[in-house]
C-alpha cells in the first residue's frame, strides 16, 4: 500500500553538509552560501517549483530573516564544522566544483605600501574571472609560514599562490602553484584572472 509520505521531500541531515554539493532536490545551488541566502530572503521566483507544505506550518514566518552578510557567512562557517574530521582551514584551498578559493592568510606588499595580512575568499564568476568576495585584515604571529604564504603585489597586480590544495578529491589531495592577475573593473568590485597554474602532485 502507498504511504502519504511518498513523493514528499525529506529534511536531510546537516552532517557532512559541506561535502554534499550541489544542494536542493534539483541541485540548483552550487555552494552553501547560496542555500543560506535563499532561506534568508525566501526567493519565491516562479522558476522554483512550489513545494507541498503541511497545513500546520506557518509559511508567513518563512523567509525575510534580514540576516546580514556577516551573519550569513557565520552560519555557513558553522555548518562546515559539522563535517566529519573537520579541521579549521589553515592552508590555501580551492574547489573546482564550487569555484571557490579560500586563503586563510595572504600578504600584501608594494614599494610604497606597508606589508599587511588578510584572510580572503575569491569566487569564480560567469565571466571566468574570480571576484574578491571576502577580505578581512588579520594579525600574524607565526612568521615561519611566510615562505609559502600567498602574497599580492600592488606593483605588479599579481597574486602569487606558492601552494594551494584542491579539496574536491577526498581520496588524494592535489596541490598546485598558481598566479592570478588583478583585472580593473568599473563596478566597484575586485576581479582577478587566473593566468598560470601547475599541478605539483607527484603521480
10 lies in a domain?
no
- Residue 203 confidence (pLDDT): 55
3 lies in a domain?
no
Residue 14 in this model has a pLDDT that exceeds 60:
yes
- Same domain as 195, residue 101: yes
Measured CA to CA in angstroms, residue 86 lies from 73, 90, 112 at distances of 17, 12, 40
- Same domain as 194, residue 99: yes
Counted domains in the chain: 2
Residue 69 in this model has a pLDDT that exceeds 60:
yes
- Same domain as 72, residue 105: no
- Same domain as 172, residue 132: yes
- Same domain as 106, residue 44: no
Residue 49 in this model has a pLDDT that exceeds 60:
no
- Same domain as 102, residue 177: yes
- Same domain as 97, residue 74: no
| pTM to 2 decimal places | 0.55
Q: Which residues pair with 121 in a beta bridge?
A: 102, 134
- Same domain as 137, residue 108: yes
Residues 179, 197: contact at Cβ < 8 Å? Answer: yes
Cell of 181: 592577475
- Same domain as 125, residue 51: no
- Same domain as 138, residue 49: no
Residue 195 in this model has a pLDDT that exceeds 90:
yes
Structure confidence by residue, pLDDT tens digits, 29-46: 777 888 888 888 766 555
Tell me which residue range forms the domain holding 30: 17-80
- Same domain as 73, residue 111: no
Structure confidence by residue, pLDDT tens digits, 123-148: 999 999 999 999 998 887 666 666 77
- Same domain as 122, residue 149: yes
At residue 23, φ and ψ (nearest 5 deg) are -110, 165
Amino acid at each position: 500500500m502507498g504511504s502519504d509520505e511518498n513523493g514528499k521531500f525529506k529534511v536531510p541531515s546537516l552532517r557532512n553538509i559541506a561535502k554534499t554539493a550541489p544542494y536542493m532536490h534539483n541541485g540548483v545551488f552550487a555552494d552553501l552560501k547560496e542555500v543560506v541566502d535563499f532561506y534568508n530572503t525566501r526567493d519565491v521566483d516562479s522558476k522554483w517549483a512550489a513545494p507541498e507544505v503541511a497545513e500546520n506550518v506557518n509559511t508567513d514566518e518563512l523567509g525575510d530573516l534580514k540576516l546580514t552578510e556577516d551573519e550569513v557567512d557565520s552560519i555557513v562557517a558553522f555548518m562546515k564544522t559539522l563535517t566529519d574530521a573537520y579541521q579549521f582551514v589553515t592552508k590555501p584551498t580551492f574547489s573546482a566544483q564550487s569555484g571557490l578559493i579560500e586563503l586563510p592568510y595572504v600578504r600584501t606588499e608594494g614599494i610604497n605600501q606597508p606589508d599587511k595580512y588578510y584572510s580572503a575568499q575569491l569566487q569564480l564568476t560567469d565571466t571566468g574571472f574570480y571576484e574578491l568576495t571576502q577580505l578581512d585584515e588579520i594579525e600574524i604571529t607565526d612568521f615561519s609560514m611566510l615562505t609559502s604564504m600567498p602574497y599580492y603585489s600592488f606593483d605588479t597586480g599579481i597574486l602569487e599562490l606558492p601552494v594551494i590544495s584542491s579539496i574536491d578529491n577526498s581520496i588524494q589531495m592535489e596541490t598546485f602553484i598558481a598566479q592570478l592577475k588583478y583585472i580593473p573593473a568599473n563596478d566597484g568590485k575586485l576581479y582577478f584572472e587566473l593566468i598560470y597554474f601547475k599541478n605539483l602532485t607527484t603521480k
